[in-house]
């Protein structure tokens, strides 16, 4: 019985494998990352495209890069949002029309944490979540109504009464001979 060894935590090989915590891929590098890093990277790249700025440097989230602080604020905000909402809801809300002109979840704040929520972004996520929940409720209600009231007009299979005619065809003539 062979034992599969996992790569060490801060090894380059660690980011090349999928795991429960690292199930998203960096858009920029293709390495596996956490949900928070994926959201932060997506928002920064979308902002740069919207304002027609040049693409950020390779691994722009490292210390010393000009996008590092913005990346960290978005990442911390995404970490806190994950506690309130599901990951799929957050990503779907960010990709939806609700987030059309919103480019940051966490903005600079002067306090002990150094960041605060972008309230417009939070409201957009809440609205998207509410719309999705209402849609799922309506869908469940229609499914329950269909199950409770099965169609009484269901057609039963009927036997075919029509028989082939006894007209004299060339095949019938040959059979009789």
Q: What is the tally of structural domains in the chain? A: 1
Q: What is the pLDDT of residues 63-88, one digit of tens each?
A: 888 999 999 999 999 999 999 999 99
Mean pLDDT (the chain, rounded):
83
Note whether residue 94 is domain-resident.
yes
In Å, what is the CA distance from 12 to each residue of 36, 50, 104?
19, 32, 29
pLDDT at residue 9 above 50? no
Interstrand relation of 32-33 and 106-108 (parallel, antiparallel or unpaired): unpaired
In Å, what is the CA distance from 89 to each residue of 84, 124, 133?
10, 11, 10
Note whether residue 59 is domain-resident.
yes
Mean pLDDT of 45-73: 90
Task: Name the pLDDT band for 164 (thresholds 50, 70, 90).
Answer: low
pLDDT at residue 23 above 70? yes
Note whether residue 175 is domain-resident.
no
Overall pTM > 0.85: no
Note whether residue 90 is domain-resident.
yes
CA pair distance 110, 163, nearest whole angstrom: 89
Range of the domain at 66: 12-133
Task: Name the pLDDT band for 113 (thresholds 50, 70, 90).
Answer: confident
Note whether residue 163 is domain-resident.
no
Closest CA to 121 of 97, 139, 152, 98: 98
Q: What is the pLDDT of residue 126?
A: 95
Task: Name the pLDDT band for 163 (thresholds 50, 70, 90).
Answer: low
pLDDT at residue 61 above 90? no
Check residues 34 and 160 and name the one with the higher pLDDT. 34
Count of other CB atoms within 10 angstroms of residue 33: 22
DSSP state of 62: S
CA pair distance 43, 62, nearest whole angstrom: 16
CB-based contacts of 114: which residues, under 8 Å, 6+ apart? 73, 108
Note whether residue 166 is domain-resident.
no
Q: What is the pLDDT of residue 10?
A: 45
pLDDT at residue 128 above 60? yes
Note whether residue 72 is domain-resident.
yes
Question: 24 pairs with which residues across the strands?
Answer: 33
pLDDT at residue 135 above 90? yes
Note whether residue 146 is domain-resident.
no
In Å, what is the CA distance from 177 to each residue of 166, 167, 169?
15, 16, 13
List the structure tokens of 107. Answer: 């903005």
Alpha-carbon dihedral sign for residues 140, 142, 145, 151? negative
């Amino acid at each position: 019985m062979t034992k599969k060894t996992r790569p060490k935590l801060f090894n380059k090989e660690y980011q090349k494998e999928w795991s429960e915590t690292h199930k998203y891929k960096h858009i920029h590098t293709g390495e596996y990352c956490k949900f928070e890093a994926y959201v932060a990277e997506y928002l920064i790249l979308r902002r740069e495209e919207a304002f027609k700025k040049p693409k950020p440097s390779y691994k722009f989230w490292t210390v010393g890069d000009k996008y590092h602080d913005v990346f960290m604020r978005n990442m911390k905000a995404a970490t806190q949002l994950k506690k309130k909402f599901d990951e799929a809801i957050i990503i779907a809300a960010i990709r939806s029309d609700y987030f059309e002109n919103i480019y940051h979840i966490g903005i600079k704040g002067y306090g002990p944490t150094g960041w605060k929520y972008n309230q417009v972004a939070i409201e957009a996520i809440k609205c998207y979540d509410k719309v999705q929940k209402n849609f799922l409720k309506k869908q469940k209600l229609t499914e329950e109504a269909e199950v409770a009231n099965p169609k009484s007009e269901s057609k039963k299979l009927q036997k075919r009464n029509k028989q082939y005619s006894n007209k004299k065809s060339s095949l019938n003539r040959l059979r009789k001979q």
